[in-house]
Amino acid sequence: MRVAFTLNGRPVEVEGQGDERLLDLLRRHFRLTGTKEGCGEGECGACTVLMDGAAVLSCLTPLVQLDGRELFTVEGLEATTRGSQFLERFAAGGGTQCGACTPGIVLSAARYLSETPVVDRNGIRRALAGNICRCTGYEAIVKAIEAEGGRKDRVQLALHPSDPELTEERES
């Protein structure tokens, strides 16, 4: 079957089986290998992407449901000015070690930071409950997100990728 959707702001079309995982489409078809497979069963959050602005697991999302959706991956985040600055600060703050969990964590975090005027550790913990990290012990991750929340120029996602601000940033 054929589905058309937007991927990091660009319209795309693919032909495939209805049960194909979004995760495989991203990595194999679109060669966007930022999105990682950890468990393939919904437990680890490494494959997190944003669909219509909401964090979802690409390992549990089949092609048949993608038509007309807006998908946003870590590559899309990195392509924005604030997104790439956030990624730099996140890494500098020790939020990443082996990096397997990072694409999922930064997307969950970016979504949380975009919808939460005043961030707090509890909220951060809750936003990240579906993302497992085997390396950092979480403390550095939570601290990095907390610090980001205190900045005036913190990462700000258009909760809908068609938001003009995001498009503008991507082009700059």
Partner 1 sequence: MMTSQSSPRTLEEALRRLSEDPACIPIAGCTDWMIGARSSGFEIPPLLDLLRVEELRGIRSDGDGLRIGATTTFSDLQQDELVRKSYPVLVQAAGEVGGRQIQNRATLGGNVVNASPAGDSLPVLLALDAEVEVASLEGRRRIPFRDFHTAYRRTALGEGELLTAVILPPAPGFQSFRKVGTRQAQAISKVVVAICAENQEGRWASVRIGAGSVAATPIRLRAAEAVLEGSAVGKATAEAAADAARGEAHPIDDLRSTARYRSWVLGRVVRRMLLS
Which residues in this chain contact partner 1 in the complex, by CB under 8 A? 1, 17-19, 21, 40-43, 45, 48, 54-57, 59-62, 64-65, 67, 108, 125-131
Is residue 68 part of the contact set for ligand FAD (CB under 6 A)? no
Binding residues for ligand FAD, total number by CB under 6 A? 2
Q: Token pair for residue 95?
A: 């939020």
37, 78, 146, 163: which one contacts ligand FES (CB under 6 A)? 37
**d(C-alpha 143, C-alpha 168), whole Å:** 30
Separation CA 15–CA 129 (nearest Å): 34
Residue of 138, 156, 165, 161 lying closest to 68 (CA atoms): 161
Query: Of residues 3, 25, 32, 46, which one binds ligand FES by CB under 6 A?
Result: 46
d(CA 95, CA 155): 15
The partner in contact with residue 94, picked from ligand FAD, ligand FES, partner 1, none with C-beta cut-offs of 5 to 8 angstroms by kind, is: none
List the one residue out of 29, 6, 33 whose CA is nearest residue 16: 29
CA–CA distance from 21 to each of 3, 29, 43, 54 (Å)? 13, 11, 16, 17
- Would you say 107 or 158 has its CB closer to partner 1? 107
CA angle 83-48-29, nearest 5°? 95
CB of 159 to partner 1, least distance (A): 13
| Residue 54 touches which member of ligand FES, partner 1, ligand FAD, none, C-beta under 5-8 Å by kind | partner 1
Cβ-based nearer residue to partner 1, 21 or 27: 21
Asked whether position 18 contacts ligand FAD by CB under 6 A, the answer is no
CB-based contacts of 57, cutoff 8 Å, min separation 6: 42, 45, 47, 48, 130
**Residue 39 interacting with ligand FES (CB under 6 A):** yes
- Binding residues for ligand FES (CB under 6 A): 37-40, 42-47, 57, 59, 96-101, 133-136
- Binding residues for ligand FAD (CB under 6 A): 42-43
